[in-house]
Structure 1
Amino acid sequence: MDDVILEARGLDYRYPGSGEPALRGLSLSARHGRRLAILGANGAGKTTLLLHLNGTLRPRAGVVLVDGVPGDTGRAGLTAWRRRVGLVLQEADDQLFAATVAEDISFGPLNLGLGAAEVARRVADVVARMGLTGLEDRPPHMLSHGQRKRVAIAGILAMQPAVLVLDEPTAGFDHAGQTALLSTLEHLSASGMTLVFSTHDVDLAYAFADDAALFAGGTVLAQGDARAVLSDAALMARAGLPLPAVPALAARLHALGVPFHREARTVLELIPAAGG
């Protein structure tokens, strides 16, 4: 498809010393400006795939394409690849290393060879966008979990990628922190950024994603419209996942002959319609 911005084709990967392949002929595509949720049980291959999408891992077979072109794993090629596709790890501490928040966020833009004025402008922009104002001189290890996660995301955003890849972005957040993060991601999506994220939260994926891919055993069971994929009870069972609350409740309401809002993405959208 012409609007595919990031694609994995036939990826095979086995971790050194492992008896089982982590990826088995895996193919997946992310379309420009869309939100793609990747779901599956632990060990299904989600994180391994994400590490391939920005060239951190190299497949034994298959290829990752960025804008239809195979990713270049040479030094200059990797820099260009990661400028286009930014990866935020699940554990922020695996990504933060500088003495201060500002220095950490500055690292990526400086690596791109940008001038001091442009780096400062980008840092100020993402600090404000990620709610980090006043923390610029704070050591990252002195921040809360949520603040460290926001710093990690800010460091990637400062490189202005076209695709933002996030591994379990809401893990460890309380409700308020998750709501704030999703609001930020919503704004990024509205600006045209493509989002690819892994999650165990089927309700989050149903409410937030445009597209969804179900993983099992290192391959993709299905990919397509999020609501269609995540409402398929048989597919969800094969992936070792429960149905999201909305389609599960909708099926029950349908069986009882109770009206409901068929386009609902959250229970709160579904229930009031059911009473009308």
Structure 2
Amino acid sequence: MSTSPSSAAADSHQSASADSLRARLGLVIPVLGASGGVGVSVVAAALSDALQLAGYSVLLADTAGPVRSGLGRAARADGPVVRVPDPVARVRFSWRAQALVGRVEDPGRTRSVAPSLWWLPGDRRVQATVVDVAGDAWELASDVRLGAGRWLGLAACPLLVLRPTVPGLVQAEQVLARLEPWVLRRLIPSIGHLVVVGARRWPARVAATAGTRVSAMRESAVFLPHDREIATGGITADVTPDKIRTALSPLLRQWRATGWLPPPQAHRRPS
């Protein structure tokens, strides 16, 4: 089957080397959900806020699309829709304070949610890219070489978000098991941390049900306390509450200590 010139150009752009993508995207931090509706967008927005307040230039990449997105109101005003080399793919760029927000407009197309240079307009570079990975990680883990799963191949520190419930731990255990073959094949890194939304510690009865893989990560889990306004109103253009950003600050310190995050050199948004 022959390939059209436009499709060939899109594939060429999409297949930029991992090194060239990392040079533009900086530290790639995919945020996955052990199941749907666990608070992935809250974690992604709060992490983006924490990074930019620490002085880093940030891209917040939303792979969910307009209907399913938890970041639909993350910017005060929608920016332009940019046509990318794929004839029907679109990315809408906006600003969340100093962080660039890229929201895919056609999530049904596998190529449009995968990492590529489409996610940064022009020759822009950032120091960190926080990816709100659409859907739940169970489906993504069936083949991480496709679609949004490809963000894991660029990552140093993917995060898995779950709820502090018995079903939440079961779902997380299953996702970790499903990702394990890809980790063993060295196609993706191990999940860096569990992020538990809606609690300050493990409930005793819940922690006792943890499987082998979750148990090994239990001590390093990060807890985001419940916030009533976000729980009822979702993520808006307002900065996420300090108590949530503070809960994520140990991750930033760890990433700086490992050298994954260089000294901040924030780029101001164009006027």
Give the TM-score normalised by structure 1.
Answer: 0.31
Larger Rg: 1
Flag the structure with higher strand content.
Answer: 1
Give the TM-score normalised by structure 2.
Answer: 0.32
